[in-house]
A and B are shown apart, each in its own frame.
Chain A
């Protein structure tokens, strides 16, 4: 069985602060894929980033960066210099080797105050 845990339920920061969201996953698949999605109040899930299990290179994309560590089964996500528009619920998700089925974490609500 697959499992994704986001221990932080809510994070509150002041604009321009950095925000790091934690994600820990469990899977028996040797090949798997990890995602971060953002859900603003409108409800639509917006894709942010994807990482394959065989590629541990960490990258930066604009104000987003991620830290994937297979040894600790973690896939953390950082928003640099947060903005009010970053306020949303962020979900970490895991896709195994078999088909388009995502297992989601419980989500972390991020509140960025001006």
Chain B
């Protein structure tokens, strides 16, 4: 089975712009979660989607949003980018919302200039 895929892998944006990141979960997985990793704050949970509905949200401003499509693919959007949004954004998938291991993709490295 193919793993979690994320596109693009690398992205450079300038302050004030907006960005959309994409995540395709492992085939058959319906739960998708997003995490932000920075040197200062470490790995932090952004949100979780299941059946096209946001089920859980971390402590991030409203500039961070996401959605999930009927095929379980997910996108996250960051509007009005700030320098502090530079990070590795990781997507993880699991079969259901029950206790299942989350499998991570390679991440998207976002640099905001």
Contact = CB atoms under 8 A, between A and B. Distances in A.
Interface string B71-111: 00000000000000000101010100101111111110100
A37 B43 CA distance: 12
Nearest to A37: B104
B104 A100 contact: no
Nearest to B106: A44
If over half of A's interface residues share one DSSP class (helix, strand or loop), that class is named, otherwise mixed; here it is strand
Contacts of A102: 33, 35, 43, 45, 92, 102
B103 A42 contact: no
A100 B32 CA distance: 8
If over half of B's interface residues share one DSSP class (helix, strand or loop), that class is named, otherwise mixed; here it is strand
Given A43-B88, A47-B101, A106-B42, A100 B106 contact: no
Contacts, number: 63
Contacts of A50: 101
B58 interface: yes
Contacts of A103: 45
B101 A35 contact: yes
A33 interface: yes
Interface residues of B, number: 27
A95 B99 contact: yes
B58 A101 contact: yes
Contact of A45 (B50, B55, B97, B104): B104
A51 to B, nearest CB: 11
Interface residues on A, range: 20 to 34
A76 to B, nearest CB: 19
B94 A100 contact: yes
A52 interface: yes
Contacts of A101: 33, 45, 48, 56, 58
B22 interface: no
Interface in B30-50: 31, 33, 35, 42-45, 48, 50
Interface of A: 33, 35, 37, 42-47, 50, 52, 91, 93, 95, 98-107
> Which 7 residue pairs of A and B lie closest in terms of their CB atoms, listed nearest first?
A45-B104, A104-B43, A44-B106, A99-B56, A43-B107, A100-B48, A101-B56
